[in-house]
Amino acid sequence: MADVGEISLAALAGGEMELVAEALSAVEDGQVDAAAATAIDGFINQLPADARQRIGITGSPGVGKSTLTAVLIKEFRDRGRKVGVLAVDPSSVISGGALLGDRIRMHEHYRDSSVFIRSMSARGHLGGLSVATPLATKVLAVAGYSPVIVETVGVGQSEVEVMHHVDTTLLVLSPGAGDDIQSAKAGIMEVADIFVINKSDRDLAGAQKLRQEIIRSQEISKRTNGWVAPVVIVSALERSGISELLDALTDHQQFRASITR
Ligand SMILES: Nc1nc2c(ncn2[C@@H]2O[C@H](COP(=O)(O)OP(=O)(O)OP(=O)(O)O)[C@@H](O)[C@H]2O)c(=O)[nH]1
Ligand SMILES: [Mg+2]
């Protein structure tokens, strides 16, 4: 079987954290050739759908992506799942203070070997993070992590690109702060499978108003595949609305399964 860097797929499937870390470094350094990538795809395609679920989380800086990620980690851990997290910052090659802060925030899961958190950089990778990240999500899937949550920083073009390689994209918004749909960057609204309006604890009326705006814009531009992205109001801080969000994730997963069958 092909290797990821120095590591065989069989060893990687054993899920040992040190091997996973090493394999991810090989991905970042561009050491995974086409044959290995094909072998990884072959391995993953045998897995049942819920053993290779990938969730993307995007949205403006400070909107609450990392807080929400931490909440989702806990929910999936409670369900006995192994959770992988990739924090991706396409704008900087060196992972900066923000990502470090995220790691500390997710610290309650640090000693839990069933949670693997990694800040991604595209060190030597030709094609950058939009190539390295999808491969990294697959490496985590081989190692038994599902879901793999990909959090991006910001909502630029490379984030949109990264989100094309996950199964379900959450676009996190918050009421006020000029974060209405008019100011959302082109392309990002289209990529959302689920809209998450966070920080509703601060402004519930604003959150409801934003939900109406999104629903109205969806009536104007319908998706070609028939999926109408639900709009879920949450507070990651107070952990409210989370079961609705998990229901929406399940619905979208089932929808995907029904159209690819
Ligand atoms: N009131 C309130 N504050 C929140 C909520 N979710 C997150 N915050 C706060 O918003 C700030 C930013 O949260 P993060 O989770 O770091 O946001 P982020 O989107 O990951 O930020 P970047 O990674 O820097 O783009 C923190 O101070 C959080 O405590 C929420 O539901 N309600
Ligand atoms: Mg963050």
> How many CB atoms lie under 10 A from the CB of residue 238?
12
- Higher pLDDT among residues 66 and 261, named by residue: 66
Atom 9 of ligand 1 has which residue's CA nearest to it?
Answer: 64
Q: What percent of the chain is modeled with pLDDT above 70?
A: 80
The answer to whether the CB of 118 is under 6 A from ligand 1 is no
Task: Starting from the CA of residue 58, give the closest ligand.
Answer: 1
Pocket lining: 198 vs ligand 1, CB cutoff 6 Å: yes
- Give the model's pLDDT for residue 193: 94
Measuring CA to CA, how many Å separate 254 from each of 53, 141, 196? 11, 19, 19
Q: How far is CA 42 from the centre of its chain?
A: 22
Ligand 1 atom, smallest distance to 153 CA: 25
Q: Domain ranges in the chain?
A: 49-125+144-260
7/21 Cα distance (integer angstroms): 11
Q: What is the mean pLDDT of the chain?
A: 84
CA 81 / ligand 1 centre spacing (Å): 24
Nearest residue (by CA) to ligand 1, atom 21, is 62
pLDDT one-digit tens code per residue, 52-83: 999 999 888 889 998 999 999 999 999 999 99
**Burial group, residue 35, by CB count within 10 angstroms (0-12, 13-18, 19+):** exposed
Q: Establish whether residue 237 lines the binding site of ligand 1, counting it when its CB lies within 6 angstroms of any ligand atom.
A: yes
Q: What is the DSSP string of 211-223?
A: HHHHHHHHHHS--
13 in contact with ligand 1, CB cutoff 6 A: no
E strand or H helix that includes residue 242 = helix 242-260
So what's the architecture of 49-125+144-260 in CATH?
3-Layer(aba) Sandwich (3.40)
Q: What is the mean pLDDT of residues 177-190?
A: 62
Ligand 1 pocket member 103 (CB < 6 A):
no
Please give the structure tokens belonging to residue 169: 């994209």
pLDDT for residue 98: 46
Nearest atom in ligand 1 to the alpha carbon of residue 102 is 16
Cα–Cα distance measured from residue 135 to residue 242, given in angstroms and rounded to the nearest whole number:
29
Does the Cβ of 56 fall within 6 Å of ligand 1? no
pLDDT at 19 over 60: yes
In whole angstroms, give the CA distance from residue 195 to residue 20: 31
* Residue 201 Cβ < 6 Å to ligand 1: yes
Position 249 pLDDT exceeds 70? yes
Q: Can the peptide bond before residue 147 be classed as cis, meaning omega within 30 degrees of 0?
A: yes
Give the distance (Å) from ligand 2 centre to CA of residue 89.
9
- Kindly report, residue by residue over 141-182, the tens digit of the pLDDT: 999 999 999 998 665 666 677 788 899 999 999 997 555 565
Q: pTM of the prediction? A: 0.90
pLDDT band at residue 101 under the 50/70/90 scheme: very low
